[in-house]
């Protein structure tokens, strides 16, 4: 059984759902960063030799990954899961557009499920790819979701994900250092690799890149974060209004970081993938020994 990670117990999960529900209707205007990370993830599939019959997208939001996955794997059934029903409902309205673009019929409509990634409403070993773009840092603890991903994957199946690392929005944390949380709590790349192994995955591959966005002013940055549903949802966030003195101090500290006339916002993007292999032990700890039968005529 997987142990809980040290990242558990800090995220206000109902608040995560509320933030994304509020952002759902206009999410297509604020998800440019998620779309770009998705594009970079999709490129990584060029090196994967797998012909899935079913793909599960964890944290699918409005289904931004569906078009790319459907184009790459036209025979695969797509299942999208998200904690915010409003996101799933909003995604249905854009489905017809990308299906016409791909030349796909009605039978290709993805199945959308409103559920928690840590408690998947699916049987074991029913999918060949679990895909997850920028979900894990919104979870109170990534371990249960990773364990569930392992459970629903078939042997030989692939988990591929992206998430945000500890340097994400470091400028915001530094500027508003008032004892409250102003960003999510992000897991380290090495911790995520250990979690994968602990959940039974094999051959985890992790890599990271830094993407820096720049803004004319702080209000624009906050507006984009809200439009993407990405405002802080930690339990330790400030629940009331920020005092004028603290607000002015934070803004001045952020302004001091301006470079070439622009305010920077750092995003550390972590990419990972790992495979589900045949178990080497039974659930009660006994070793599994496999014997290959001799081929006929040998």
**Least confident span in 57-71, 96-110, 131-145, 257-271:** 96-110
pLDDT of residue 29: 84
**How many CB atoms sit inside 10 A of residue 91's CB?**
22
How much of the chain, in percent, has pLDDT values that exceed 90? 74
pLDDT value at position 179? 85
Kindly give, in sequence order, each residue whose CB lies less than 8 Å from that of residue 24, ignoring residues fewer than 6 positions away: 61, 62, 84, 86, 87, 89, 90
pLDDT digits (tens, 9 = 90+) for 182-196: 999 999 999 999 999
CA distance linking residue 184 with residue 164, whole number of Å: 9
Q: Is 83 helix (H, G, I), strand (E, B) or coil?
A: coil
Domains defined along the chain, listed by start: 13-165+185-210+268-275 (3.40.50.150)
pLDDT at 290 exceeding the cut of 80? no
N- to C-terminal Cα separation, the chain: 42
Residues 90 and 95: their CA atoms lie apart, in Å, by: 9
Q: Determine contact, residues 35/232, Cβ cutoff 8 Å.
A: no
Confidence of residue 95 (pLDDT cuts 50, 70, 90): low
Confidence at residue 107, expressed as pLDDT on a 0 to 100 scale: 45
Choose among 119, 83, 78: nearest CA to 95. 78
Q: What pairing do the DSSP bridges indicate for beta strands 202-215 and 263-275?
A: antiparallel
Average pLDDT over the chain, rounded to an integer: 89
* 270 pLDDT above the threshold of 80: yes
* Of the listed ranges 101-115, 189-203, 233-247, the one predicted with least confidence: 101-115
**Which of the four pLDDT bands, split at 50, 70 and 90, describes residue 99?**
low
For range 168-189, the mean pLDDT: 93
Phi, psi of 128 (to 5 degrees): -105, -20
Contacts 24+ apart (CB under 8 A), 47-53: 48/158, 48/160, 48/273, 50/128, 50/129, 50/156, 50/157, 50/158, 51/75, 51/128, 52/76, 52/127, 52/128, 52/129, 52/157, 53/77, 53/128
> How far is residue 192's CA from residue 136's CA, in Å, rounded to a whole number?
10
Q: What per-residue confidence (pLDDT) applies to 183? A: 93
pLDDT higher at 97 or 152: 152
The pTM of this model reads 0.87
Confidence of residue 237 (pLDDT cuts 50, 70, 90): confident
Residues facing 266 on adjacent strands: 212
Q: Is the pLDDT of residue 198 over 50?
A: yes
Residue in the block written with tokens 């799933």 = 88
In the numeric block, the tokens 């990419």 are attached to 271
CB burial class (10 A; 0-12, 13-18, 19+) of residue 7? buried
């Amino acid at each position: 059984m997987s142990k809980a990670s040290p990242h558990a117990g800090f995220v206000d999960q109902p608040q995560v759902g509320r933030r994304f529900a509020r952002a759902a209707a206009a999410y297509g205007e604020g998800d440019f960063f998620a779309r770009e990370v998705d594009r970079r993830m999709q490129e990584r599939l060029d090196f994967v030799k797998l012909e899935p019959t079913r793909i599960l997208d964890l944290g699918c939001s409005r289904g931004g990954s569906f078009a790319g996955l459907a184009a790459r794997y036209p025979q695969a059934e797509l299942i999208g899961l998200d904690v915010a029903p409003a996101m799933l409902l909003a995604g249905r309205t854009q489905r017809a557009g990308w299906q016409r673009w791909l030349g796909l019929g009605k039978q290709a409509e993805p199945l959308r499920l409103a559920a928690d990634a840590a408690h998947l409403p699916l049987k074991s070993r029913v999918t060949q790819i679990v895909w997850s773009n920028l979900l894990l840092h919104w979870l109170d603890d990534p371990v249960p979701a990773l364990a569930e991903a392992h459970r629903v994957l078939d042997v030989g199946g692939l988990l591929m994900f992206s998430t945000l690392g500890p340097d994400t929005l470091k400028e915001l944390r530094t500027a508003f250092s008032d004892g409250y949380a102003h960003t999510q709590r992000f897991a380290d790349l090495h911790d995520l690799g250990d979690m994968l192994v602990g959940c039974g995955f094999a051959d985890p591959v992790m890599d990271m890149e830094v993407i820096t966005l720049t803004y004319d002013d702080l209000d624009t940055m906050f507006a984009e974060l809200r439009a993407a549903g990405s405002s802080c949802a930690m339990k330790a966030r400030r629940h009331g209004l920020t005092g004028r003195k603290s607000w002015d101090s934070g803004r001045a500290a952020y302004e001091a970081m301006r470079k070439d006339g622009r305010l920077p916002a750092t995003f550390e993007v972590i990419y990972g993938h790992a495979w589900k292999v045949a178990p080497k032990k039974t659930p009660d700890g006994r070793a599994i020994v496999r014997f290959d039968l001799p081929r006929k005529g040998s």
